């Protein structure tokens, strides 16, 4: 047989053997259209060794690979997932023996044509994991590993062994026997997979997979695309060599912030706070900056870039920040004028502030010796200091002269010119001798639930509990005197067989604060605001037997030891509702805790109780203001305490100070040029009033002290007026108080 015949026979043999190789057999490399096997069949070799001048290697058909003892690779264990605890044993995927060198067999060639060099199917770049289709072989950096089961297709979805994949990535698995979940931790994120489920979770967020996870021969199999997606891995499919190439090298991440928020040229030292991370067990080994400066010499916009490199040699994408550098801060300019340079004693002084800042910063003012008038003759130096937001300041001073002539006495000046809400000092000893105004009184059917005792609370418990229907006012004022953080709640319970609707009409809340008067003032302030705006209006429906936290502004805050809260709210219910005012640890569930709580005793000083008819209507029809007179509130004499009961103790109650009572006062005939003020008689007072639809503070700042201070509430003009006043005592303040009516002094020209 000649050489041509031998060559043709060898070629036919190769074609026949190659046609018998199944699609999932050991993959062959394609080199210039020639199929070259990576392992020679002993049968084919025997057939050609004696007759062919160039031995031709072919791939013999093989059964689907499986990790049995007959496997040629010297692997001592396999990736298994026992049915009881799939992750109880350590990983058994280990490198196989070093693959034998690639075969040098080739198709017959002439001496003029170079032999094609086969490319191994396992060949890939650094950091790439190669999975062979329909095989349990995988290659990482040229090293062969075996999974417990081959990559398989089930219902059109490609599945892989989760352990084999994850451990090649450099992560570890745990198994939760209670939830039957396989758990992977990657870069601080928790991934969970469950047998026979089509969902996996990342930090509790569920994601749908293409198919359900399953177990096969004690190996946990999941869709390939799901694990690559979950681990953030990119992959490509090589259909020619029947392999999937997964890129394990993930770029590190870099970012930074610049501090402080404002940077001035030539002045500000810039701090750069960096954040960086690497994936898959790598570490950050190098940083690189562009445009970074500790101090920028000139104003403008500067781009600063930051990059990092990890231990795999990968660089992050540059992270950039545009730094705005401002012109150096300039100090402010303090300046003011007075309408005159010389004044009489008691003459009003008009001051116009002309201060400015060249950078447009907001300014803080501090005055020295500023007054609305002076009552002693001589030169007076008025001084103003302004400070910008960067701490630079400036001071301006002007000297005015006060003559020996008197325009107004101090008392007359205060009555005429003190702003609404401000206070002034006077001789309060004369007030009890003033006439009391005559009025008629009535009430409106509002049930007041006052929870104010124990005011200082030393343990968890129910501070008050009452059932009410219709118009109901809930007033709460308590201090946390325990050693831990607490929350206070108003829990509404519907013990009826029908749904109950609770509509909040007005509501105000103050605190938490260490100052009882401040919380009381704030609660009445916001109560009046909701009355004017309707901002608190809302409805809650309770099903039969249901309990809910209502008036939730009270439990939206944590009350620290020593802090006080105040609440005042008007609600309406169409069925009887039980209200429970409780204090518990801030981390406890109020609905679960309520049944375990006991009732707290009264403290013997402060008041709690249920009081009907809690709106008191006062109509003054006589003219007031022509002569000094007063209207007394909360003295339990002219204005009696509201009677009620304390159901927790089974005793009668008297609402001392009438806290929680809303007074609606109508003065039908207030004389022209009348001054109305508030003068406390029982101690310090701090709280607002609603006068002709406007909230007036008593006082604007601080507190009005009894008995020698009074806070300006209202002045009438040159005509008689009707004045309407809504008043309710602010928790933390002292009763009684007097509303004073007095004629204004005649105004003089100046």
| Same-domain check for residues 579 and 544 | yes
Q: What is the mean pLDDT of residues 128-146?
A: 87
Q: What is the CATH number of the domain that holds 233?
A: 3.30.457.10
Cβ pair 309, 288 in contact under 8 A: yes
| Same-domain check for residues 367 and 257 | no
Task: Return mean pLDDT, the chain.
Answer: 85
Say which DSSP state 599 is in: B
> What per-residue confidence (pLDDT) applies to 121?
66
Q: What does the alpha-carbon distance between residue 246 and residue 141 come to, in Å, rounded to a whole number?
A: 12
> What per-residue confidence (pLDDT) applies to 313?
86
> What per-residue confidence (pLDDT) applies to 75?
28
Q: Is residue 36 part of a domain?
A: no
| Same-domain check for residues 374 and 521 | no
| Same-domain check for residues 634 and 713 | yes
| Same-domain check for residues 529 and 632 | no
Cβ pair 673, 718 in contact under 8 A: yes
Q: What is the mean pLDDT of residues 490-495?
A: 98
Print the domain residue range for 521. Answer: 446-607
Q: Quick one: what percent of the chain has pLDDT higher than 90?
A: 67
Please, which pLDDT band fits residue 412 given cuts at 50, 70 and 90?
Answer: very high
| Same-domain check for residues 453 and 465 | yes
- Higher pLDDT pick, 102 / 190: 190
| Same-domain check for residues 264 and 301 | yes
Cβ pair 487, 622 in contact under 8 A: no
Question: Of 232-246, 375-389, 591-605, which range is least confident?
Answer: 232-246
| Same-domain check for residues 192 and 316 | no
Q: What is the mean pLDDT of residues 107-129?
A: 55
Q: What is the mean pLDDT of residues 555-571?
A: 97
Domain final residue, candidates 325, 355, 383: 325
> What per-residue confidence (pLDDT) applies to 179?
84
> What per-residue confidence (pLDDT) applies to 119?
57
- Higher pLDDT pick, 559 / 20: 559
* CA angle (410 as vertex; 406, 412 as ends), nearest 5: 90
Q: Is residue 6 part of a domain?
A: no
Q: Is residue 8 part of a domain?
A: no
| Same-domain check for residues 701 and 733 | yes
Please, which pLDDT band fits residue 154 given cuts at 50, 70 and 90?
Answer: confident
> What per-residue confidence (pLDDT) applies to 250?
79
Within 10 A of 530 (CB to CB), how many other CB atoms are there? 21
> What per-residue confidence (pLDDT) applies to 28?
31
Q: What is the CATH number of the domain that holds 273?
A: 2.60.40
Question: Of 19-23, 248-252, 709-713, which range is least confident?
Answer: 19-23
Domain final residue, candidates 325, 347, 364: 325
Is the model's pLDDT at 136 over the cut of 50? Answer: yes
Pairing outcome for strands 137-140 and 128-132: antiparallel
Q: Is residue 451 part of a domain?
A: yes
Domain final residue, candidates 553, 577, 607: 607
Q: Write the DSSP string, 472-522.
A: EEEEEEEEE-SSS-EEEEEEEE--SSS-EEEEEEEEEEEEEES-HHHHHHH
Q: Which residues pair with 186 in a beta bridge?
A: 189
Per residue in 295-331, pLDDT tens?
Answer: 999 999 999 999 999 988 889 999 999 999 999 989 9
> What per-residue confidence (pLDDT) applies to 687?
96
**425 token code pair:** 């000092």
| Same-domain check for residues 545 and 595 | yes
Is the model's pLDDT at 253 over the cut of 80? Answer: yes
| Same-domain check for residues 597 and 512 | yes
> What per-residue confidence (pLDDT) applies to 170?
77
What total of structural domains would you count in the chain?
5
Please, which pLDDT band fits residue 483 given cuts at 50, 70 and 90?
Answer: very high
| Same-domain check for residues 432 and 456 | no
> What per-residue confidence (pLDDT) applies to 118?
52
């Amino acid at each position: 047989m000649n050489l041509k015949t031998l060559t043709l026979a060898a070629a036919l043999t190769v074609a026949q053997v190659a046609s018998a190789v199944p699609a999932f057999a050991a993959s062959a490399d394609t080199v210039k259209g020639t199929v070259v096997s990576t392992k020679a069949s002993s049968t084919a070799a025997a057939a050609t060794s004696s007759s062919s001048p160039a031995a031709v290697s072919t791939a013999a058909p093989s059964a689907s690979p499986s990790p049995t003892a007959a496997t040629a690779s010297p692997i001592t264990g396999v990736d298994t997932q026992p049915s009881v605890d799939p992750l109880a044993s350590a990983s058994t995927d280990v490198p196989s023996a070093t693959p034998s060198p690639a075969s040098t067999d080739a198709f017959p060639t002439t001496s003029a044509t170079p032999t094609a060099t086969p490319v191994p199917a396992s060949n890939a770049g650094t950091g790439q994991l190669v999975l062979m289709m329909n095989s349990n072989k995988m290659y990482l950096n040229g090293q062969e590993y075996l999974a417990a089961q081959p990559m398989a297709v089930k219902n059109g979805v490609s599945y892989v062994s989760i352990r084999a994949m994850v451990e090649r990535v450099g992560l570890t698995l745990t198994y939760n026997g209670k939830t039957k979940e396989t758990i992977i931790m990657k870069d601080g994120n928790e991934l969970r997979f469950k047998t026979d489920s089509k969902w996996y979770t990342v930090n509790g967020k569920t994601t749908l997979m293409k198919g359900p996870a399953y177990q096969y021969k004690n190996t946990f199999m999941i869709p390939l695309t799901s694990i690559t997606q979950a681990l953030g891995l990119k992959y490509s499919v090589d259909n020619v060599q029947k392999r999937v190439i997964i890129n394990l090298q993930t770029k590190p991440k870099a970012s930074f912030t610049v501090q402080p928020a404002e940077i001035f040229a030539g002045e500000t030292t810039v701090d750069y706070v960096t954040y960086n991370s690497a994936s898959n067990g790598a570490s950050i080994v190098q940083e690189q900056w562009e445009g970074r400066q500790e101090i920028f010499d000139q104003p403008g916009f500067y781009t600063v870039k930051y990059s990092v490199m990890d231990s795999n040699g990968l660089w992050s994408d540059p992270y950039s920040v545009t730094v705005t550098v401002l012109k150096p801060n300039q100090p402010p300019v303090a300046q003011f004028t007075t309408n005159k340079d010389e004044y009489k004693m008691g003459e009003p002084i008009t001051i116009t502030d002309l201060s400015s800042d060249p950078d447009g910063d907001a300014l803080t003012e501090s005055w020295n010796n500023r007054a609305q008038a002076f009552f002693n003759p001589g030169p007076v130096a008025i001084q103003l200091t302004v400070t910008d937001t960067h701490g630079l300041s400036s001071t301006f001073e002007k000297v005015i002269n006060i003559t020996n002539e008197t325009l107004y006495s101090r008392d007359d000046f205060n009555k005429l010119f003190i702003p609404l809400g401000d206070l002034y000092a006077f001789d309060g000893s004369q007030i009890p001798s003033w006439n009391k105004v005559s009025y008629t009184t009535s009430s409106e059917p509002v049930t007041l639930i006052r929870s104010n005792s124990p005011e200082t609370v030393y343990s968890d418990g129910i501070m008050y509990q009452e059932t009410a229907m219709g118009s109901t006012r809930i007033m709460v004022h308590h201090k946390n005197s325990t050693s831990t953080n607490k929350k206070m709640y108003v829990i509404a319970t519907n013990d009826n067989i029908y749904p109950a609707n609770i509509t909040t009409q007005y509501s105000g809340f103050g605190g938490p604060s260490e100052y009882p008067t401040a919380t009381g003032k704030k609660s009445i302030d916001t109560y009046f605001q909701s009355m004017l705006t309707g901002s608190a209006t809302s409805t809650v429906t309770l099903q039969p037997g249901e309990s809910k936290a209502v008036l939730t502004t009270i439990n939206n805050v944590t009350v620290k030891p020593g802090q006080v809260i105040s609440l005042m709210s008007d609600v309406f219910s169409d069925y009887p509702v039980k209200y429970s005012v409780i204090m518990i640890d801030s981390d406890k569930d109020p609905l679960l805790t309520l049944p375990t709580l006991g009732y707290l005793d009264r403290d013997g000083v402060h008041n709690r109780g249920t009081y009907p008819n809690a709106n008191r209507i006062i109509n003054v029809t006589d003219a007031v203001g022509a002569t000094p007179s007063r209207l007394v509130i909360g003295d339990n004499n002219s204005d009696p305490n509201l009677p009620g009961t304390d159901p927790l103790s089974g005793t009668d109650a008297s609402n001392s100070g009438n806290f929680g009572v809303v007074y609606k006062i109508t003065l039908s005939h207030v004389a022209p040029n009348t001054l109305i003020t508030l003068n406390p008689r029982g101690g310090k007072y701090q709280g607002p009033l609603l006068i002709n639809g406007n909230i007036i503070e008593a006082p604007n700042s601080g507190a009005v002290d009894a008995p020698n201070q009074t806070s300006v509430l209202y002045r009438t003009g040159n005509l008689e007026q009707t004045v309407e006043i809504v008043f309710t005592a602010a928790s933390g303040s002292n009763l009684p108080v007097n509303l004073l009516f007095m004629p204004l002094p005649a105004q003089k020209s100046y």
